Amino acid sequence: MQSKETEVKTEGIERISIFDTTLRDGEQSPGATMNINEKVAIAHQLARMNVDVIESGFPISSRHDFEAVSRIAGEVKGPTIAALARCVKGDIDAAAESTKHSQKPRIHLFVATSPIHMKYQVKKTPEEVIRMARWGVEYARQFVQDVEFSAEDATRSDIEFLSKVVREVVAAGATTVNIPDTVGYCAPNEYGRVISAIKSIVPPHITISTHCHNDLGMAVANSISGAANGARQIECSINGIGERAGNAALEEVVVAFRTKKGMGFATGVVTEEIYKTSRMVSAATGIQVQRNKAIVGENAFSHKAGIHQNGMISCADTYEIIDPKEVGRETEFVLGKHSGKHAVNEIVKGQGFNVSSEQLDKIVGAVKEMDEQKKRVTINDVVAAAKAVAVQ
């Protein structure tokens, strides 16, 4: 039963825009390079999933990326199609040219704002960075109305300097301001404070965005903290792929909002398409999802312990807080030495066998023996054990 507090929050649900960067930051995962046809196919699937923004690539980086962005912009309808660019003319020209056939094009600009990045990465003074940022936004606005600006390594930037940069790009015409935790350094309370500080200085019509990396395993938590403190766009990727330890996992963010309505947020994502999309991305990149990964991992809706299986047979809510059908999946009972009679009996009956208590004991014993010999016991293995017992 929901508490009154939860009920009140549920009435005032706010919409969070989902910006998918699988095809840009996700492809920066080592070994994750996708060909153009794979990128276009995934972009179409992201559109079916109803994400709000597809970051389709970094057009200046290669001919391959330019062609992929151009095809996606021309073929994929529905979401905004974004292209990444540094605050330099050649990058912006390439982003504008490659997205010109999109119904909703966006140029996504970035420049580093932390002391360490300004010194060692862009090799610019703070004053030069401010000029670059403002010029970049002004120039990009000559091509598109929708310009996003990202302050790279924002969370390790001086907050006063970061605020000054944000004010300048908003004045120049940026419509979205992204505050990346580029190296995944923040904890949720820290990230929330940065988002809150930026929220306090921008006009209400400006969208604040999160872009959180997972180096300390807090990308999803940080993204949710960002939303709680005023961000209304979350940048994330399918399966959480991306540079180093990856980005916030789209499926985890979206399903967290859907499951915990008391947070007060919702997205437009068609969650039933999540698992299919996860599998597509995994197949295209060759990056397998870890078994215990939330939402899309092989074990996410699997139950092996007898106590858990018995509870699930009585009421699925005992051990599943998410209906697997909502993300395109099914509950699975994995049989083994931890399984009890109830689960084995349910499978045996479901396969058309009518066995005695003594026969069931023998089948359970056979299942436990098989588990000692192999990692995963399937329904076919149980059927084979039931057949063997039936003819004894």
Mean pLDDT over 187-202 rounds to: 98
In a domain, 292, yes or no: no
Mean pLDDT over 14-18 rounds to: 98
**DSSP string of 143-172, one letter each residue:** T-S-EEEEEETGGGS-HHHHHHHHHHHHHH
Taking only the tens place, the pLDDT of each residue in 329-373 is: 998 777 777 776 777 887 788 888 888 888 888 888 888 888 777
For residues 53, 56, 61 and 63, what is the CA-based torsion angle, rounded to 10 degrees?
-150
Q: Do 333 and 253 share a domain, yes or no?
A: no
Q: How many domains does the chain have?
A: 2
Is the pLDDT at 186 greater than 60? The verdict is yes
CB 111 within 8 A of CB 87: yes
Of the candidates 192, 246, 190, the residue with the CA atom closest to the CA atom of residue 214: 246
How confident is residue 385, by pLDDT bands cut at 50, 70 and 90? confident
Is the pLDDT at 84 greater than 90? The verdict is yes
Q: Do 63 and 124 share a domain, yes or no?
A: yes
DSSP state of 213: B
Is the pLDDT at 6 greater than 70? The verdict is no
Is the pLDDT at 374 greater than 90? The verdict is no
Taking only the tens place, the pLDDT of each residue in 114-152 is: 999 999 999 999 999 999 999 999 999 999 999 999 999
Cα separation values, 310 from 247, 344, 368, Å: 36, 10, 17
CA 233, CA 218: separation in Å to the nearest integer? Answer: 17
Longest pairwise C-alpha distance within the chain = 85
Of the candidates 80, 76, 82, the residue with the CA atom closest to the CA atom of residue 58: 82
pLDDT of residue 319: 83
Whole-structure pTM value? 0.89
Domain that holds residue 384: 302-390
Number of helices (H), then strands (E), in the chain:
15, 12
Mean pLDDT over 4-32 rounds to: 79
Q: Do 342 and 260 share a domain, yes or no?
A: no
In a domain, 296, yes or no: no
Q: Do 144 and 279 share a domain, yes or no?
A: yes
In a domain, 1, yes or no: no
Q: Do 249 and 320 share a domain, yes or no?
A: no
- Degrees, nearest 5: CA angle 22-25-31: 85
How confident is residue 392, by pLDDT bands cut at 50, 70 and 90? low
Q: Do 263 and 377 share a domain, yes or no?
A: no
CA 159, CA 197: separation in Å to the nearest integer? Answer: 8
* Strand 17-20 to 14-15 pairing: unpaired
Is the pLDDT at 229 greater than 80? The verdict is yes
pLDDT of residue 389: 81
pLDDT of residue 368: 83
Q: Do 67 and 202 share a domain, yes or no?
A: yes
- As a whole-number percent, the residues of the chain with pLDDT over 70 amount to 95
In a domain, 8, yes or no: no
Q: Do 229 and 174 share a domain, yes or no?
A: yes
Is the pLDDT at 7 greater than 50? The verdict is no
Which CATH number does the domain housing residue 317 bear? 1.10.238
Which of 67-71, 108-112, 266-270, 313-317 shows the lowest mean pLDDT across its residues?
313-317
How confident is residue 5, by pLDDT bands cut at 50, 70 and 90? very low
- Degrees, nearest 5: CA angle 50-107-229: 65
Which CATH number does the domain housing residue 92 bear? 3.20.20.70
CA 200, CA 206: separation in Å to the nearest integer? Answer: 11
Q: Which long-range contacts (CB under 8 A, 24 or more apart) does 156-163 make?
A: 156/114, 156/115, 156/116, 156/117, 156/182, 156/183, 156/185, 157/113, 157/114, 157/115, 158/115, 159/194, 159/197, 161/113, 161/126, 162/113, 162/194, 162/198, 163/197, 163/198, 163/201
Residue of 276 and 315 predicted with greater confidence: 276
Domain boundary pick from 285, 310, 344: 285
pLDDT of residue 11: 60
pLDDT of residue 391: 54
Q: Do 344 and 236 share a domain, yes or no?
A: no
CA 211, CA 195: separation in Å to the nearest integer? Answer: 11
In a domain, 291, yes or no: no
CB 206 within 8 A of CB 233: no
Q: Do 237 and 307 share a domain, yes or no?
A: no
CA 236, CA 22: separation in Å to the nearest integer? Answer: 7
Average pLDDT of the residues of the chain: 92
